[in-house]
Amino acid sequence: MTDLMVAVPPILAGPPQPIVHGGPAEDGAAPKAQRLRRIALPTACGALSVAVLGGLHRQILGGIRSLLALEPGALVIVGCCVITLVVSRAAVNRLTHPETSMFRGFVLDQISLAATNALPGGVVLGPAARYRVSRSFGHSPEQSAIGTFAAGQAFCLGRWLLVLLVVGHQFAVGSISASDSMLLVSALSAVAIGAGIWTVLATESTISRVLTAAAQNLVNRVGLRWRRFRNRDVVLIASSMRNSAISLGRRRACALVLLGAASSLASGAIIVTVVTTFGADAGDPGLWALMRVYLLARVATSFVPTPGALAALDAALIAGLLSTGVDPQIATAAVLIYRATTFVLPILLGGVTYLGWRRWNRTGEPEAQTSVAPAA
């Protein structure tokens, strides 16, 4: 009865007043900021991606020629490594959201990876792109934030798990060096820091309460200037994020870290396969030594600001391979093939995935709006 009574307009004296429902947005006129975000920003990102690929055309062609020069058996192994890499990364993104399908995990990963590799500041833009895509799939802001953070931690801790395994092997054979000792200390520190962060997120401790209070004060101050941040309850948001972190930590932490390690192992196996194939006659340093070179180069260039640690990682890999006695031409071919499969391919695949996601998102938005519209 209350709804019916509200729906009946009162009888007033004078001419009837027009009822304003939504303003110019209902006429189809999108705001300028929205138009800029939907057209100009993707165009700029696409132009930057094309510029990056155009500037690396010699390296790309060299990688393709080296890849085609591989024996059929080695080519199959490299292809299996790439498939394992793509599937394991998609599985990590799928596990961060229980209700997400494997295909959506693939979309989350490829768009994030393409933004990380192709755009300046990709370390920030990659997770931001993943968060945006996750929100379009219907996940709450808290779930999207925790999922983005959990995926990054899974890849990071998985890599450090491999570091511990390789350095442990070096200790077992008795050929430990100063760099191995430093790598071991770094790995243990990274694992301890990751465990500490998850402990703060998943428990209501003194540290978490202090951080929540500080965040609430910051949001209140920012809300004085921007309405978007007004009346935001950080305590409620933190509680929701804590529940998501507890669920992930208890049920899927081991699977996430192991899949992250599998992705790093597949990436390193590409270099191992190429060096082993091309250097079969001259003798290769061995699987453990090559994997150690790869992991050491990855750790040393983790904080390089260029997209995909471009140039820095290449130089570190070539220098590490040369230090183990690999022929310079073989080392260069291995790095070119590695870059073609783990840098260029994700940009192309992620670009196609991004275009498909934008088309799905554009056609899906009107349906979502009409489903919640009140009946006339």
Burial class (CB in 10 A: 0-12, 13-18, 19+), 349: middle
pLDDT band at 286 (very low <50, low <70, confident <90, very high): confident
Burial class (CB in 10 A: 0-12, 13-18, 19+), 228: exposed
Q: What is the pLDDT of residues 105-151, one digit of tens each?
A: 999 999 999 998 888 878 888 999 999 999 999 988 888 888 898 89
Judge whether 255 and 95 are in contact, CB under 8 Å.
yes
Helix (H) / strand (E) containing 80: helix 72-95
Instruction: Please indicate whether residue 127 or residue 248 has the higher confidence score (pLDDT).
Output: 127
- What's the CA gap between 375 and 134, in Å, rounded? 30
Backbone dihedral region for residue 375 (phi beyond 0: left; psi -120 to 50: alpha; all else: beta): beta
The pLDDT value given to residue 44: 55
Q: Using the structure block, give the residue that is written with the tokens 């998850």.
A: 198
Average pLDDT for 74-84: 91
HSE-up (13 A, CA, CB side) for residue 180: 18
CA angle 239, 243, 247 (to 5 degrees): 165
Nearest to 156 by CA among 185, 115, 186, 131: 186
* Residue 349 vs residues 112, 117, 363: alpha-carbon distances, Å: 11, 12, 22
Nearest to 331 by CA among 105, 127, 62: 62
pLDDT of 88 over the 60 cut: yes
pLDDT of 101 over the 50 cut: yes
pLDDT of 253 over the 50 cut: yes
Read off the DSSP letter of residue 326.
-
Residue 311 is encoded by which pair of tokens? 């140039």
- Residue 298: other Cβ atoms inside 10 A: 19
Nearest to 190 by CA among 88, 292, 299: 299
Contacts of 135 (CB under 8 A, 6+ apart): 141, 144
- What's the CA gap between 85 and 340, in Å, rounded? 14
- What's the CA gap between 137 and 144, in Å, rounded? 10
The pLDDT value given to residue 6: 41
Q: What is the pLDDT of residues 180-235, one digit of tens each?
A: 777 788 888 888 887 777 777 777 778 777 888 888 788 788 877 877 777 777 77
Judge whether 147 and 97 are in contact, CB under 8 Å.
yes
- What's the CA gap between 321 and 328, in Å, rounded? 8
What distance separates the 2 farthest-apart alpha carbons in the chain? 99
pLDDT band at 14 (very low <50, low <70, confident <90, very high): very low
pLDDT band at 288 (very low <50, low <70, confident <90, very high): confident
- What's the CA gap between 350 and 112, in Å, rounded? 8
The pLDDT value given to residue 90: 95
Whole-number percent of the chain with pLDDT over 70: 77
Backbone dihedral region for residue 121 (phi beyond 0: left; psi -120 to 50: alpha; all else: beta): left
The pLDDT value given to residue 28: 46
| Most confidently modeled range among 39-53, 154-168, 179-193 | 154-168
Average pLDDT for 77-100: 91
- Axis-axis angle for helices 102-118, 41-55 (nearest 10): 70
The pLDDT value given to residue 52: 54
Residue 91 is encoded by which pair of tokens? 């599985």
Read off the DSSP letter of residue 139.
-
Nearest to 313 by CA among 301, 321, 324: 301
Mark out the alpha helices in 224-311 (DSSP H runs).
Answer: 234-251, 253-278, 287-300
The pLDDT value given to residue 199: 76
Radius of gyration of the chain from Cα atoms? 25
The pLDDT value given to residue 17: 44
- What's the CA gap between 331 and 5, in Å, rounded? 79
Contacts of 265 (CB under 8 A, 6+ apart): 162
Whole-number percent of the chain with pLDDT over 90: 21
The pLDDT value given to residue 13: 43
The pLDDT value given to residue 366: 38
Q: Using the structure block, give the residue that is written with the tokens 């200790």.
A: 171
Q: What is the pLDDT of residues 329-370, one digit of tens each?
A: 888 888 988 988 999 899 999 999 998 998 888 765 433 333
Average pLDDT for 38-54: 57
